[in-house]
Amino acid sequence: MEQYPSPDMADVQLVTVLSALADPIRLDIVRALADGRPHPKTAEVWHFDVQKSTLSHHFRILREAGLTRTIVDGRSHAIQLRRAELDERFPGLIASLVDATA
């Protein structure tokens, strides 16, 4: 299917990742996703005060930057941090985001 493609981690640039993280909503998402497990994209689950189209936009930025992958199951989608790959490509980066008091 390859419906929602993420880039190869080897091609992911640090500055692209940092740009993706440089937004309050996306940073919150990534920090919440740091457990490495899939989380539903459902807008109501995320308490953000934006429309679902905006949230969808943020999910896309994260995926295209290489931070996340999308798991499709019927009409429900989940998003998952590519934790292991990221830890290998950018050691310590995700950990430092999680540790930090925002």
Partner DNA sequence: CCGATCGTTCGACATCTGTCGAACTATGAG
Partner DNA sequence: CTCATAGTTCGACAGATGTCGAACGATCGG
H or E element at residue 88: helix 83-89
Q: Which does 76 bind (CB under 5 to 8 A by kind): a second copy, DNA, none?
A: DNA
Among 6, 17, 70, 82, binds DNA (CB under 7 A): 70
> Are the C-beta atoms of residues 68 and 62 closer than 8 Å to each other?
yes
Any contact of residue 15 with a second copy (CB under 8 A)?
yes
Q: Partners of 68 in the beta sheet?
A: 81
Q: Which does 14 bind (CB under 5 to 8 A by kind): a second copy, DNA, none?
A: a second copy
**Smallest distance, a second copy to C-beta of residue 18, A:** 4
For the chain, where are the E strands, in sequence order?
39-40, 68-73, 76-81
